[in-house]
Structure 1
Amino acid sequence: MIIFLLIVLILTLVYSLLIGWLYTGLEQGEKRGCDFQAGVSVVVPFRNEFENIGALIRAIASQEYPRDRIELILVDDHSDDGGGSLASKVLEDYPDLCVSLVGMDQKSGKKNALYTGVSRAGHDIILQTDADCIPGPSWVQRSVQPFENQEVAAAAGIVRMAGHSAIQKLFSLEFLSLQASGAALVSRGIPVMANGANLAYRKKVWLDHHPGNTNWASGDDVFFIQKLALKDKHTVTYNEDSCVDTPAPFSGREFLNQRVRWGSKTPAYPIRSAKYIAYLVAALNTLLVMCFLAGLVLSVEYLAVFVALVGIKSLPDYLLVQKFARISEQRKLLRLFSISALLYPFYIVISGVIILFGTRLQKWKGRPLRI
Structure 2
Amino acid sequence: MKKEGVNQLFNTLENKISVIIPVRNEADNIARCLDSLSNQNYNKANFEVIIIDDHSTDNTSEIVINYFKNSELNSRFYQLENTYTKKEGLKCGIEKSNYNIISSTDADCILPSNWLFNISIQINKKADMILGPVIFKEKPGFLSAFQQLDMLAIQSIEFGMLSYKKPILNNAANLTYLKEKFYVVNGFDQYNTPSGDDVFLLEKFKKHNKNVLGSLKEDFIVLTNQETSFSSFINQRLRWSSKAKYYSNSWLLFISTIVLIQNISLIFIYIGILFVEKYWIILLILLFCKWLIDFILLFLAASFFKRKKVLYYFIPVQVVYPIYLLFVWITSIMITFEWKGRNYNG
Provide TM-score, normalisation by structure 2.
0.90
1:228 to partner: Cα distance: 0.8
Following superposition of structure 1 onto structure 2, how do residues 179-190 of structure 1 map, counting pairs within 5 Å?
179-190=155-166
Following superposition of structure 1 onto structure 2, how do residues 89-100 of structure 1 map, counting pairs within 5 Å?
89-94=66-71, 96-100=72-76
Partner of 2:19: 42
Q: Does structure 2 conserve the Cα–Cα contact (< 8 Å) formed by 1:34 and 1:142?
A: no
The counterpart of 1:317, out of the listed 285, 288, 294, is 294
Take 1:113 and 1:192, find their aligned partners in 2: how far apart are those partners? 24
The counterpart of 1:256, out of the listed 234, 247, 262, is 234
Q: Does structure 2 conserve the Cα–Cα contact (< 8 Å) formed by 1:56 and 1:133?
A: yes
Following superposition of structure 1 onto structure 2, how do residues 75-86 of structure 1 map, counting pairs within 5 Å?
75-86=52-63
Partner of 1:284: 262
Structure with the greater relative contact order (CA < 8 A, sep ≥ 6): 1 or 2?
1
Q: Does structure 1 conserve the Cα–Cα contact (< 8 Å) formed by 2:236 and 2:339?
A: no
Q: Does structure 1 conserve the Cα–Cα contact (< 8 Å) formed by 2:269 and 2:287?
A: no
Q: Aligned partner of 2:47: which letter?
A: I
Deviations 1:269-308 (A, max 9, x none): 1212211211111112112213323444x42456545543
In structure 2, the CA distance between the partners of 1:348 and 1:319, relative to structure 1 (3 Å rule), is same
Q: Identify the range of structure 1 (176-185 vs 138-147) with the bigger mean alpha-carbon deviation.
A: 138-147
Partner of 1:20: none
Aligned residue pairs: how many? 333
Q: Identify the range of structure 1 (114-123 vs 335-344) with the bigger mean alpha-carbon deviation.
A: 335-344
Deviations 1:26-82 (A, max 9, x none): xxxxxxx96611111100011110101111112111211101111000000111111
Q: Does structure 2 conserve the Cα–Cα contact (< 8 Å) formed by 1:174 and 1:340?
A: no
Take 1:293 and 1:123, find their aligned partners in 2: how far apart are those partners? 57
> Do structure 1's residue 217 and structure 2's residue 181 form an aligned pair?
no
Partner of 1:121: 97
Q: Aligned partner of 1:112: which letter?
A: E
Partner of 1:108: 84
The counterpart of 1:202, out of the listed 178, 186, 210, is 178
Partner of 1:246: 224
Take 2:201 and 2:321, find their aligned partners in 1: how far apart are those partners? 28
> Do structure 1's residue 351 and structure 2's residue 331 form an aligned pair?
no
SS in 1 for 2:173: coil
> Do structure 1's residue 133 and structure 2's residue 109 form an aligned pair?
yes
Partner of 2:248: 270
Q: Does structure 2 conserve the Cα–Cα contact (< 8 Å) formed by 1:227 and 1:270?
A: no
Take 2:182 and 2:305, find their aligned partners in 1: how far apart are those partners? 26
Deviations 1:243-280 (A, max 9, x none): 11112211222222222221232221121221121111
> Do structure 1's residue 88 and structure 2's residue 62 form an aligned pair?
no
Aligned-residue CA RMSD (Å): 1.9
- Sequence identity, in percent? 26
Partner of 1:51: 28
In structure 2, the CA distance between the partners of 1:148 and 1:354, relative to structure 1 (3 Å rule), is same
The counterpart of 1:365, out of the listed 337, 340, 345, is 340
Deviations 1:297-350 (A, max 9, x none): x42456545543332222332232222333333333333323322222121111
SS in 1 for 2:199: helix
The counterpart of 1:178, out of the listed 143, 151, 154, is 154
Take 1:300 and 1:81, find their aligned partners in 2: how far apart are those partners? 58
Take 2:153 and 2:216, find their aligned partners in 1: how far apart are those partners? 15
Take 1:214 and 1:184, find their aligned partners in 2: how far apart are those partners? 27
The counterpart of 1:154, out of the listed 129, 140, 162, is 129
SS in 1 for 2:106: coil
Partner of 1:22: none
Q: Aligned partner of 1:272: which letter?
A: S
Q: Identify the range of structure 1 (343-352 vs 190-199) with the bigger mean alpha-carbon deviation.
A: 343-352
